[in-house]
Each structure stands twice: as structure tokens, then as C-alpha cells.
């Protein structure tokens, strides 16, 4: 072992797109068919944490553990590509400064964990690859010489949407035009501090009635959907401009209109695929109808929209809303979808911040704050657990360096073993 431990531990956030990424023009380099735009969610609530260490004693073999399980780093795989690209950047830095230790020549060990269970129904590849790139960047001390957008270009090759998790706030992934992918990277549209008022309520939807899972269909849509071509050429470009302006203006109504339209447009292209791809189920659709009715009723009082829904490649709804609307939205969701597990992040229920609400609950009445014109029969009250879990969070910052060197945050032991695995061995 080297006398110095070269190590960094970083956390990275989840992001949820409002202009959706669907379809690759290059599946190897992960180059998308269109631009996309997302909101980065607060790492205080949802995050991936990764420790990366370089050591001469590790031998030639890079190793990586994800949630305690070792992953094979395949020779032509995405992990390999990301680590190699980061090593190249370190190598360039070392070439310019002979005094630097030759970390680029040593193997790395990487240990990564998500603080949200798979059962939350959230994709972890974006935050996971972002944390990988952030921890290697910190280990190799690449910034500020290497820009965050340049790092995002590498994260993109791990998982497309990971590039957007390199920034906080409001983030665009510019799809780019070059075959090399050099211009396919993330840029900040606005920082978290520009519009910190935006919150998100993630509704984790039960998918009990599903049969055999359908295979991933992004490229099937590219190959078979006539509508996707129209979405790429004529729909997304204008929406990217319009929603960027809405974010600059903190114009929630426009932001909501575009967010909902683009979610529906994306799922329409999935449905237009042969064979069709369905991600939303009856509960997803009920949340759409409820949100539309909340907005209709609010607009009938000349108030703006209350919330915007968006759906990724699954049945879960993410509702974006200004902070002030969240108590109404939360109570309405809990009325129609009883018994969802819920950690009360922002103490909306007055039982203390992060108070846990689990299992059987009393029936939740509709809130007094509902617009007068709200039609309470818009959807029926659903069976208990139709929405399994609610996660209340907000727009957040980009990756954080939690620690340089070996300290309390490290996921690797002094010997370079994954800490969780180590704990399991001891137990």
C-alpha cells in the first residue's frame, strides 16, 4: 500500500426530466435523438454515494461494488469506458505536471451505494454514474481545469441521463450533432438558487397486475414509431426553448404545461411503437386526471396551475409544484390513494420533520384549501396501497465532495474492501 491514501467520496443527485430523452442516434456512445431537460432533486433525500480510491498496490485490476455486490467491469462495457476516460484526463494532467503522483497508472476501487431502495421505483443509473464520475474527478483532482460539462460528456457514456446529474438546479442535455459525441453534454440552464421554490412529490405506484416485464424499448421506438420522428424534429426543439424561458422567468404555469405535454408526448411515442410499450397504468392515469382537475379548478378561480405531472419509463408519477401548493396536493393525493408510506420531509403534517407515516392510516379528508370548482368525483378513492409510497423533495444542488482521503464518509475500508461487505463478514 502507498503511504498516502488517494481517495475521494462524493454524492450525486437523482434528476427527473421534464423534456424527455427517448431514443439514441448512437447506442454505443449513447448519443440521443433529441435534447432533454431535467430538474435535479435534493441529495438530502435521494442520492448515490461513491468512494473511489487509486492505489499502486491494487494491481492491474479495477474493481467496483454497487450496494455491496461486486460488478464485473466488462472490457467493452460502459463502466470500463467511463473509468478509462477519467484516467485519460488524469494522465493529461500528470503529463503537464511531473510532480503529481501517477494515479492514472494505478488501478481504482470504487464502492457505490444508493440511499433509496430499488423498491422506490426510481432509476439509480443516473445518480450512480454521476457519483462515479464525480468521485473519480475528485480523486484525480481534475477540476476546475476540466469543466463539469466535460465530465458530463463522460457520465453520458455510462448512462445517458447521468450527464444531467452532474449539475444542480435546471439542466439541459444538449444532444449534439457530431458523430464523435464531443458536443453531446449537459449544461446548466439555471442553478438551484435561481428558482429554489420548486418541489416534487414522487408517487410510487404499485404495479401488481403486471405480467412478464416487457423488454427495454427505446430503440424499438426509434425503429418503428412514425410519431417519434415528428417529436424529434418538430416538437422537442421549440419546447426546449420555451421551458428554458419559463425556468428563467420562474413561470410555473408555462413550465407545467410543457412538462405535462412532453410527458404525454413521450408516452404517446411509446404507445406508437410496434409492439407498443406501456409504462403508465390505471393508477398513473388516475393521477393524471386528478392533477388535470386540480389545475382546471384552480384556473377557474383565475389562479394558476397547482401541479405538473411527469412519468418516466414506469408507472410512478412525479408531481412538480411550487412549495406553497404542496400541502393541498399531498392531502389530495393521500385522500384518493390511501395508506401510502410517507416520510414527512417538510413536516407538512405537523408531527415533526421526517416523521414516518407507515401502513394503516385513518382516511384522509380532502383539504379545505381545494379550489371551489374541484369535482371530487373525478376519480374514485382507490384501494389501499395503489400508491405504495410518497417521497416529498425539492430542487437540489449538484454532486458534492463529501470527503477527500479516508474518513467517516468512506465506503471503502483502510484495506480497500467495500465497507458494507466488510461489515457483513464481521457479523
Beta-bridge partners for 204: 389
Task: Find the part of the chain contacting its own copies (CB under 8 A) among 136-144, 172-180, 207-215, 355-363.
Answer: 207-215
Binders of its own copies among residues 358 to 417 (CB under 8 A) are: 375, 377-380
Complex with its own copies: residue 51 or 339, whichever CB lies closer: 339
Complex with its own copies: residue 112 or 273, whichever CB lies closer: 273
DSSP state of 367: P
Minimum distance of its own copies from residue 208's CB (angstroms): 9
User: What distance in Å separates the CA atoms of residue 423 and residue 416, rounded to the nearest whole number?
Assistant: 13
Work out the angle between the directed axes of helices 148-156 and 125-139 (0-180°, nearest 10). 130
Complex with its own copies: residue 11 or 273, whichever CB lies closer: 273
CB neighbourhood size of 202 (10 A): 24
Complex with its own copies: residue 183 or 383, whichever CB lies closer: 383
Beta-bridge partners for 343: 356, 391
Signed CA dihedral, 221, 225, 229, 230: sign only: negative
Beta-bridge partners for 344: 355
Task: Find the part of the chain contacting its own copies (CB under 8 A) among 126-134, 283-291, 348-356, 407-415.
Answer: 283-291
- Asked whether 338 and 380 are in contact (CB, 8 A), the reply is no
Q: Of the candidates 230, 250, 357, 420, which one interacts with its own copies according to CB under 8 A?
A: 230
Minimum distance of its own copies from residue 293's CB (angstroms): 8
Binding status of residue 288 toward its own copies by CB under 8 A: yes
Complex with its own copies: residue 112 or 221, whichever CB lies closer: 221
φ/ψ of 131, rounded to 5, equals -70, -35
Number of residues that bind its own copies (CB under 8 A): 39
Minimum distance of its own copies from residue 118's CB (angstroms): 21
Q: Of the candidates 234, 359, 365, 368, which one interacts with its own copies according to CB under 8 A?
A: 234
Complex with its own copies: residue 90 or 305, whichever CB lies closer: 305
Which residues, at least 6 apart from 139, have a Cβ–Cβ distance to it below 8 Å? Answer: 6, 7, 8, 52, 53, 54, 103, 108
- DSSP state string for 196-215: TTEEEEEEEE--TT--SPPP
- Asked whether 123 and 158 are in contact (CB, 8 A), the reply is no
Beta-bridge partners for 69: 66
Each residue 150-189 as x (binds its own copies by CB under 8 A) or -, in order, gives ----------------------------------------
- DSSP state string for 373-399: T--TTSSPPPPTTSEEEEEEEEB----
Complex with its own copies: residue 132 or 270, whichever CB lies closer: 270
Minimum distance of its own copies from residue 226's CB (angstroms): 5
Q: Of the candidates 78, 194, 250, 285, which one interacts with its own copies according to CB under 8 A?
A: 285
Minimum distance of its own copies from residue 191's CB (angstroms): 30
Which residues, at least 6 apart from 150, have a Cβ–Cβ distance to it below 8 Å? Answer: 89, 185
User: What distance in Å separates the CA atoms of residue 130 and residue 11, rounded to the nearest whole number?
Assistant: 8
All three cell numbers of 209: 397486475
All three cell numbers of 299: 384556473
Complex with its own copies: residue 52 or 258, whichever CB lies closer: 258
Minimum distance of its own copies from residue 324's CB (angstroms): 23
Minimum distance of its own copies from residue 337's CB (angstroms): 13
CB neighbourhood size of 304 (10 A): 15
Complex with its own copies: residue 64 or 364, whichever CB lies closer: 364
DSSP H helices, 318-363, are 326-336
List of E strands, 126-178: 170-174
Binding status of residue 299 toward its own copies by CB under 8 A: no
Binding status of residue 235 toward its own copies by CB under 8 A: yes
Minimum distance of its own copies from residue 351's CB (angstroms): 31
* Placement of cell 418538430 in the chain: 234
Binders of its own copies among residues 253 to 282 (CB under 8 A) are: 257, 260-261, 264-265, 267-269, 271-276, 278, 281-282
Minimum distance of its own copies from residue 353's CB (angstroms): 34
Complex with its own copies: residue 285 or 420, whichever CB lies closer: 285
- Residues at the contact surface with its own copies, assessed by CB under 8 A: 209, 211-212, 214, 226-227, 229-231, 234-235, 257, 260-261, 264-265, 267-269, 271-276, 278, 281-282, 285-286, 288-289, 292, 296, 375, 377-380
Amino acid at each position: 500500500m502507498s503511504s498516502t491514501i488517494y481517495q475521494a467520496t462524493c454524492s450525486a443527485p437523482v434528476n427527473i426530466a421534464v423534456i424527455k430523452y427517448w431514443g439514441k442516434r448512437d447506442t454505443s456512445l449513447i448519443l440521443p435523438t433529441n435534447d432533454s431537460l431535467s430538474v435535479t432533486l435534493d441529495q438530502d433525500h435521494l442520492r448515490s454515494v461513491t468512494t473511489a480510491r487509486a492505489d499502486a498496490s491494487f494491481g492491474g485490476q479495477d474493481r467496483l461494488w454497487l450496494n455491496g455486490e461486486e460488478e464485473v467491469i466488462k472490457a467493452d462495457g460502459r463502466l470500463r469506458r467511463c473509468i478509462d476516460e477519467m484516467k485519460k484526463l488524469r494522465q493529461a494532467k500528470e503529463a503537464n505536471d511531473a510532480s503529481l503522483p501517477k494515479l492514472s497508472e494505478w488501478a481504482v476501487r470504487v464502492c457505490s451505494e444508493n440511499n433509496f431502495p430499488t423498491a422506490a421505483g426510481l432509476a439509480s443509473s443516473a445518480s450512480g454514474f454521476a457519483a462515479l464520475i464525480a468521485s473519480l474527478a475528485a480523486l484525480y483532482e481534475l477540476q476546475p481545469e476540466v469543466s463539469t460539462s466535460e465530465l458530463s460528456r463522460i457520465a453520458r457514456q455510462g448512462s445517458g441521463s447521468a450527464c444531467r446529474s452532474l449539475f444542480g438546479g435546471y439542466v439541459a442535455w444538449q444532444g449534439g450533432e457530431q458523430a464523435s459525441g464531443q458536443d453531446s453534454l449537459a449544461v446548466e440552464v439555471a442553478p438551484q438558487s435561481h428558482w429554489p421554490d420548486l418541489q416534487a412529490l414522487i408517487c410510487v405506484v404499485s404495479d401488481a397486475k403486471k405480467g412478464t416485464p416487457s423488454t427495454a424499448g427505446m430503440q424499438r421506438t426509434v425503429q418503428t414509431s412514425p410519431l417519434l420522428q415528428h417529436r424529434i424534429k418538430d416538437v422537442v426543439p421549440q419546447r426546449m426553448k420555451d421551458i428554458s424561458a419559463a425556468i428563467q422567468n420562474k413561470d410555473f404555469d408555462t413550465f407545467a404545461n410543457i412538462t405535462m405535454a412532453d410527458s404525454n408526448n413521450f408516452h404517446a411515442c411509446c404507445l406508437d411503437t410496434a409492439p407498443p410499450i406501456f409504462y403508465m397504468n390505471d393508477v398513473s392515469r388516475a393521477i393524471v386526471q386528478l392533477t388535470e382537475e386540480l389545475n382546471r379548478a384552480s384556473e377557474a378561480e383565475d389562479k394558476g396551475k397547482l401541479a405538473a405531472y411527469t412519468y418516466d419509463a414506469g408507472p410512478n408519477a412525479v408531481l412538480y409544484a411550487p412549495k406553497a401548493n404542496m400541502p393541498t396536493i399531498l392531502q389530495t393525493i393521500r385522500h384518493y390513494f390511501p395508506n401510502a408510506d410517507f416520510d414527512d420531509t417538510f413536516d407538512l403534517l405537523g408531527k415533526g420533520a421526517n416523521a414516518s407515516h407507515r401502513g394503516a392510516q385513518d382516511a384522509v379528508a380532502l383539504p379545505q384549501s381545494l379550489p371551489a370548482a374541484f369535482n371530487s368525483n373525478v376519480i374514485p378513492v382507490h384501494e389501499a396501497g395503489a400508491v405504495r409510497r410518497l417521497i416529498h423533495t425539492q430542487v437540489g444542488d449538484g454532486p458534492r465532495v463529501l470527503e477527500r482521503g479516508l474518513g467517516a464518509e468512506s465506503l471503502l475500508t483502510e484495506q480497500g474492501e467495500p465497507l458494507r461487505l466488510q461489515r457483513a463478514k464481521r457479523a
